[in-house]
C-alpha cells in the first residue's frame, strides 16, 4: 500500500491530491478547493505543491496537485476522526520509507543531471505548445518558464546550498547544456 500513497517524482517523495481524496474518502474537488485555499495564505506554497494534470478513466486531463511531505502535512492537519488519524500515520510511514530509499541512492553525475532536466522539460512542453511557430513566448509565459527552468536546475543540482550549485562552473555548464537541449528540441534560439 506504501507505493500507492507516496510516489517518486523528480527525485522527491510526493503524493497527489487524487490519492489523498481516495484514501481519506473525500471528493477530489473538495481536496482541490482546500489546496487552492492554502495557495492564498501560504507564502512558500510552490515549495510544497505543484499543479499538474493526470488523465481520468476516459483519458481526459484532470487537474491534480503533487505535494511533498510538508504540503501533505499542512493539508491533512484539518482532517479529523480515527480513520483520518490512521491514514495520516500510514502516509507518514510511506514518506519515511520513500525518503529512506532516496538517501540510499548515489548522487547523479552531471550527464545524468542534464538528462533529468531534459526529461522534466519534456513535461513542460505541454505548457508551451507550438513553440516552433513563435519567435518567443509572451512575457508572462517566458517568466513562468524561466521560473520552472531555474527550479528544475536547482533541484537537479541538489539545492541552492549544494556543492554542485555553488560551483559556478558546474552551474554554468548545466544552464548551457539545458539551453542547447532547448535549441535542439524545438529548433529555436530563444523562448
The Cα–Cα gap between 163 and 152 comes to: 16
pLDDT band of 128, cuts 50, 70, 90: very low
Average pLDDT over residues 29-35: 94
The Cα–Cα gap between 156 and 177 comes to: 13
Among 18-22, 34-38, 99-103, 168-172, the minimum mean pLDDT is found in: 99-103
On the CB side of 48, how many CA atoms lie within 13 Å of its CA? 17
User: Which residue has better confidence, 164 or 51?
Assistant: 51
Query: What's the pLDDT at 101?
Result: 73
Query: What's the pLDDT at 116?
Result: 61
Q: Assess whether pLDDT exceeds 70 at residue 155.
A: yes
The pTM (predicted TM-score) of the whole model is 0.48
Query: What's the pLDDT at 146?
Result: 74
User: Which residue has better confidence, 147 or 123?
Assistant: 147
The Cα–Cα gap between 113 and 152 comes to: 10
Among 8-22, 44-58, 136-150, the minimum mean pLDDT is found in: 136-150
Query: What's the pLDDT at 134?
Result: 41
Q: Mean pLDDT across the chain, nearest whole number?
A: 75
Cα distances from 106 to residues 40, 150, 171, in angstroms, run: 37, 23, 20
Helix (H) / strand (E) element for 109: namely none
Query: What's the pLDDT at 127?
Result: 42
The Cα–Cα gap between 159 and 74 comes to: 22
Amino acid at each position: 500500500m506504501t507505493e500507492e500513497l507516496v510516489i517518486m517524482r523528480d527525485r522527491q517523495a510526493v503524493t497527489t491530491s487524487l490519492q489523498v481524496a481516495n484514501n481519506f474518502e473525500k471528493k477530489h474537488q473538495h481536496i482541490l478547493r482546500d489546496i487552492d485555499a492554502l495557495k492564498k495564505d501560504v507564502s512558500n506554497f510552490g515549495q510544497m505543491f505543484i499543479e499538474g494534470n493526470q488523465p481520468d478513466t476516459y483519458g481526459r486531463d484532470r487537474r491534480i496537485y503533487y505535494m511533498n511531505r510538508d504540503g501533505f502535512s499542512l493539508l491533512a492537519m484539518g482532517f479529523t476522526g480515527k480513520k483520518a488519524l490512521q491514514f495520516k500515520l500510514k502516509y507518514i510511514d510511506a514518506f519515511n520509507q520513500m525518503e529512506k530509499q532516496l538517501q540510499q541512492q548515489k548522487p547523479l553525475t552531471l550527464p545524468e543531471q542534464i538528462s533529468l532536466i531534459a526529461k522534466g522539460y519534456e513535461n513542460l512542453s505541454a505548457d508551451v505548445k507550438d513553440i516552433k511557430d513563435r519567435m518567443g513566448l509572451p512575457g508572462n509565459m517566458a517568466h513562468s518558464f524561466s521560473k520552472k527552468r531555474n527550479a528544475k536546475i536547482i533541484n537537479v543540482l541538489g539545492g541552492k546550498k549544494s556543492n554542485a550549485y555553488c560551483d559556478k562552473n558546474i552551474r554554468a555548464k548545466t544552464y548551457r547544456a539545458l539551453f542547447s537541449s532547448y535549441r535542439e528540441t524545438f529548433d529555436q534560439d530563444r523562448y
